[in-house]
Amino acid sequence: MTTSSTESTTSKLRLGDVFRVGASGPRARKMRTALSALGISIGIAALVGVLGLSESSKSALLDEISSLGTNLLTVEAGGGFGAGDSELPDTALATISRIPTVTNASAVWDVDADVYRTEFIPEGETGSISVVAADVELVETLNGELAVGQFLDESTSAYPNAVVGSIAAVRLGIRNLDQATYVLIGDDYVEVIGILEEFPLAADLDRAVLIGKDAAIDFYDAGENPAIIYTRILDGAIDSTRDVLPTTADPENPEEVTVSRPSDALEAQAAADDALTTLFLGLGAVALLVGGIGVANVMVIAVIERRGEIGLRRSLGATRAHIRRQFLTEAVILSVLGGIGGVIVGISATYVYATSQGWRVIIPQEAALGGFFGAIAIGAIAGLYPAMRAARLAPTEALRS
Amino acid sequence: MSIQTTTQPQAAAPTPTGGAAALELHNVTKEFPGEPPVRALDDVSLRIDHGELVAVVGPSGSGKSTLLNVMGTLDRPTHGIVSVDGIDTAERSDNEVAGIRARKIGFVFQQFFLLPGMSAIENVSNGLLYQGVPPRERAARSIEALERVGLGHRLQHPPNHLSGGERQRVAVARALVHSPAFVLADEPTGNLDSKSTKAVMKLIHDLHSEGTTIVVITHDTAIADSLPRQVAVHDGVLASDSARRDREVVAT
C-alpha cells in the first residue's frame, strides 16, 4: 500500500500542526498552564495598568492645566496677603493693564476684618478664612466659575455683598443660597450672593470671603494698594512680559515685586507623577521577569516529565527541530495566554480606576501592544533552554523509562 | 563512517522474493563506549521480508533492546548496514532517517506512550503527523485504523477512559495508520493481563494475515513460539533463526 515511487524521505511538520502540537501540552494540563501564565499576567497587567493610569491621570492634569491656562502670572509684593512692609503701589493695577501683552488684569486687596458665620462664634475662631476685596473681573481673569449665585458686579461691589470661596463656604457651613444667607464681616452682617468653585491656580482665594473693592474701602477702611494682581498674558509673550512686570508694577522698587506662574506648580506635579510611574514600571518589569522565569521553570519540568512523549514523537518521525519547535511554541503559548490576560486585567484596572476618578480613560497603545509582544519575546526566551534540552535528548534515552 | 559495500558480506541472506526486504541488517555491530567498550550487538545479519511475522526473543541483557533500537533506526550501528524497505539508512542524515521512521516504521511500546488528554483519534493521527498529512485526512485514516483494530466505538475516548488492552490497540492503530513497511512491537503485551494479552496477540496475527509485516520483540518464549518465525538473540549475537534453519534444511 505504499503510495508513490518518488518518495521524499525527510519528515515534515505543517505550520498549523506546529501550533496544534505546541498547544497540546498546555491543553492537557490546564491548571498548570493557568498558573504559569499567571506570573506573566501579573507583570503585563502591572505594566499596562501603570502606563494606562499614569497616562490617564497625566492627561487629566494637563487638561486641567490647559483649561486653567498656563498664561496666568501673579504679581505681588514680597509675600502673600498682608505681607507687611512692602506693598504694591496703588497704581500698579492700572499700569500693568496698559502693557499691550496683558489681556486681563485683576487684583485683590487685603481687608483688615474677620469673618464669622454668626456673632455667637467666639472671636478668633475664624477657621483661617480671610476677607479679601476683589475687582469685578477677578473670576474671568482666573477662568473661575461660580458654583451658586453670581459674582460681584459694578453695583453689588459698591455695597457690602460677599462671595465665598469653595473651602470658606464649607467651613462657614454654607451649602446653597436657597435662602438669604449672611455672614458676619467685622461688625456687620453681609449677604452672600455667590459661592465659588475651586481656583486651582489661586488656592488662597478658596479660603477667602470676597467683597467688592469699593465696599472694602468705604465700609472696612481697606487701603488702595493691591495685595496680588492676577494677569493673563498673550501666548508667546509670557517670558518677555514676565521681565517687564516688576518695573511696571513698582518702578521705584522693582526688586520687591514677585512675579510667579501658578501653572508651574501643577506641571511640577505632573513631572513628579512621571517619576513615580517610572518606579512602578520598574516593579512591573520585575514581576514580568519573575513570570518569565516561572515559565522557563515549568518548561524545564515539562521536558523532564515528558521524556516519554519526546521519545514517542521521535519514533513517529519528529526531528530534533520539530521537538525544539514544539516546546518553544508551548512556552510562547503560555506567555501569550499570560500576556492576553495581563493586557485585559491592566486595561480593566485602568478603566475602573480612571472612571472612578473622573479621568478620561487613556490606554496607551504602546502599552497594550508592547505588553502582548513583550510576552511573546519573554516566552521565546524562557522556552529556549528547555526546548534545546528537549531536542538534544536522544530518542533511545527518551524512550527508556 | 565508511561502509563496506564492495565486499559482499558473508551472511547476506538470499532474497527469495527478489524485491527489497522490509528490513535488512548486514553485519551490524553496536558498541557502547566504556572501559572496555560494551559490544551489545556483534555482527548481526537479519533479513525480514514483507508480510512476515517475526519474534525476536531473548532474555534481558541479551542485546534485544539494542537490536530494537537499531532496527527501528532510533540508534545507528557502530558498523554495518541497516536498510529499511531498500533504503540504506547509513547514507542518510538524521532528519532523513526521521523521515524514514515517519513513513516506513510503526512502533508499539510496552508502555503504550499514548498522550494524555488526547482522544483515540488524535493519538492515532500522531502517526501521520510528521509526514505532513493534512489534518482532515489524518482524522479519516485514523478512524479507519481504529476500526481495523476493533476500536470503532472508542474514537473520542482519551487514554484514561480505556482499558489496558484498548490502549495497546490504540497504539497498534497508531503504528499502522501510515501503512509502514513494518511494525516493531516491543514487549507489546508486557503490561497487559492474560485476557488482553490474548486479544492483542490475536490482533497481531490478524494484521499479519492481512499482509502487515510485524516484528515482535519479547522475552516471553511462549509468545515467541506462537509466531511463524523466531529469531533468538544471546549476548549480542543471533543464536538462532528458525527461518534460516528452515532454509538450511532446504539447502542440504
**CB within 8 Å: B135 and A17:** yes
**CB within 8 Å: A316 and B126:** yes
Rounded to whole angstroms, the Cα distance separating B112 from B108 reads 7
**CB within 8 Å: B117 and A401:** no
Residues A48 and A103 in one domain: no
| pLDDT band of B251, cuts 50, 70, 90 | very low
Residues A83 and A124 in one domain: yes
Whether residue A194 contacts residue A163, with contact meaning beta carbons closer than 8 Å, is answered with yes
Nearest CB to B95; choose among A11, A27, A312: A11
Whether residue A228 contacts residue A75, with contact meaning beta carbons closer than 8 Å, is answered with yes
Best of B89, B95, B179 to substitute, by most chain A Cβ atoms within 10 angstroms, is B95
Regions of chain A with pLDDT less than 50: 1-6, 79-83
Helix axis angle for A365-392 and A30-68, nearest 10°, is 160
Report yes or no: A314 at the B interface, CB cutoff 8 Å. Answer: yes
Q: Which CATH class is domain B23-251?
A: alpha beta
What residues in A contact B63, CB-CB < 8 Å? none
**CB within 8 Å: A2 and B179:** yes
What domain count does chain A have? 2
Chain A, chain B: beta-carbon pairs less than 8 Å apart: 108
Rounded to whole angstroms, the Cα distance separating B208 from B124 reads 19
The pLDDT value given to residue A255: 83
**Three-state SS at B56:** strand
**CB within 8 Å: A316 and B107:** yes
**CB within 8 Å: B98 and A317:** yes
Chain A: residue nearest B114 by CA?
A309
**Rounded to a whole number, what is the distance in Å from the CA of A22 to chain B's nearest CA?**
13
Sheet containing B53-57: which strands, arranged edge to edge?
B105-108, B182-186, B214-218, B53-57, B229-234, B237-241
Residues A102 and A40 in one domain: no
Of how many residues is chain A composed? 401
Roughly how many angstroms between the first and final C-alpha of chain B, as a whole number?
A: 38
What residues in B contact A307, CB-CB < 8 Å? none
What residues in A contact B102, CB-CB < 8 Å? 11, 316-318
Residue A300: which domain range?
Answer: 15-65+267-399
pLDDT of residue B7 exceeding 70: no
| Model confidence pLDDT, tens digit, residues B88-144 | 999 899 999 999 999 999 999 999 999 998 999 999 999 999 999 999 999 999 999
Chain A: residue nearest B115 by CA?
A309
What residues in B contact A317, CB-CB < 8 Å? 98-103, 129-131
Rounded to whole angstroms, the Cα distance separating B169 from B149 reads 6
Whether residue A349 contacts residue A45, with contact meaning beta carbons closer than 8 Å, is answered with yes
Q: How many CB atoms lie within 10 A of CB B119?
A: 17
**CB within 8 Å: B130 and A316:** yes
pLDDT of residue B219 exceeding 70: yes
Residues A78 and A227 in one domain: yes
Residues A56 and A205 in one domain: no
Rounded to whole angstroms, the Cα distance separating B75 from B66 reads 8
DSSP, residue by residue, A219-281: HH---SS-SEEEEEE-TT-HHHHHHHHHHHH-SS-GGGEEEE-THHHHHHHHHHHHHHHHHHH
Q: What's the angle, vertex CA A281, arms to CA A276 and CA A286, rounded to 5? A: 130
Residues A190 and A226 in one domain: yes
**Rounded to a whole number, what is the distance in Å from the CA of A353 to chain B's nearest CA?**
41
Residues A87 and A236 in one domain: yes
Domain boundary among A194, A226, A260: A260
The sign one gets for the Cα dihedral A146, A149, A155, A160 is: negative
Residues A290 and A394 in one domain: yes
Chain A: residue nearest B174 by CA?
A316
The pLDDT value given to residue A175: 87
Chain B: residue nearest A396 by CA?
B74
Chain B: residue nearest A8 by CA?
B99
Work out the percent of chain B whose per-residue pLDDT is above 70: 89
Rounded to whole angstroms, the Cα distance separating B104 from B178 reads 8
Q: Greatest CA span in chain A, whole angstroms?
A: 116
3-state helix, strand, coil split of chain A in percent (to 5) is 55, 15, 30
Q: Where is B99: in which H helix or E strand?
A: helix B94-104
Domain boundary among A231, A260, A289: A260
The pLDDT value given to residue A274: 79
- Put simply, the chain A residues between 243 and 282 with a CB less than 8 A from any chain B CB are none
Rounded to whole angstroms, the Cα distance separating A77 from A213 reads 19
The pLDDT value given to residue A1: 40
The pLDDT value given to residue B18: 53
Q: What's the angle, vertex CA A231, arms to CA A228 and CA A234, rounded to 5? A: 165
Question: How many Cα atoms occupy the beta-carbon half-sphere of A320 within 13 Å?
Answer: 11
The pLDDT value given to residue B247: 54
Best of A7, A11, A21 to substitute, by most chain B Cβ atoms within 10 angstroms, is A11
Whether residue B16 has a cis bond before it, omega within 30° of 0: no
The pLDDT value given to residue B246: 56
What predicted TM-score, i.e. pTM, was given to this entire model? 0.74
**CB within 8 Å: A13 and B113:** no
The pLDDT value given to residue A80: 43
Pairing verdict, β B53-57 and B214-218:
parallel
Question: Which of A229-233, A281-285, B218-222, B224-228 is least confident?
Answer: A281-285
What residues in B contact A308, CB-CB < 8 Å? 111, 113
Whether residue B159 contacts residue B170, with contact meaning beta carbons closer than 8 Å, is answered with yes
Cell numbers for A11, please give them. Answer: 519528515
**CB within 8 Å: A314 and B111:** no
What residues in A contact B98, CB-CB < 8 Å? 10-11, 314, 317-319, 322
CA distances from A68 to A108, A140, A150, A238, A276 (A): 19, 11, 20, 15, 24
Residue A206 falls within a domain, yes or no?
yes
Residues A113 and A225 in one domain: yes
Residues A234 and A290 in one domain: no
Q: Where is A194: in which H helix or E strand?
A: strand A188-196
The pLDDT value given to residue A85: 63
Residues A245 and A171 in one domain: yes
Rounded to whole angstroms, the Cα distance separating A331 from A350 reads 28
The pLDDT value given to residue A6: 41
Write out the E strands in B103-218. Answer: 105-108, 182-186, 214-218
Rounded to whole angstroms, the Cα distance separating A197 from A252 reads 37
Cell numbers for B19, please give them. Answer: 524485491
Residues A290 and A182 in one domain: no
**CB within 8 Å: B74 and A315:** yes
Q: Where are the domains of chain B?
A: 23-251
**Three-state SS at B72:** coil
Helix axis angle for A307-315 and B94-104, nearest 10°, is 80
Q: Where is B198: in which H helix or E strand?
A: helix B194-209
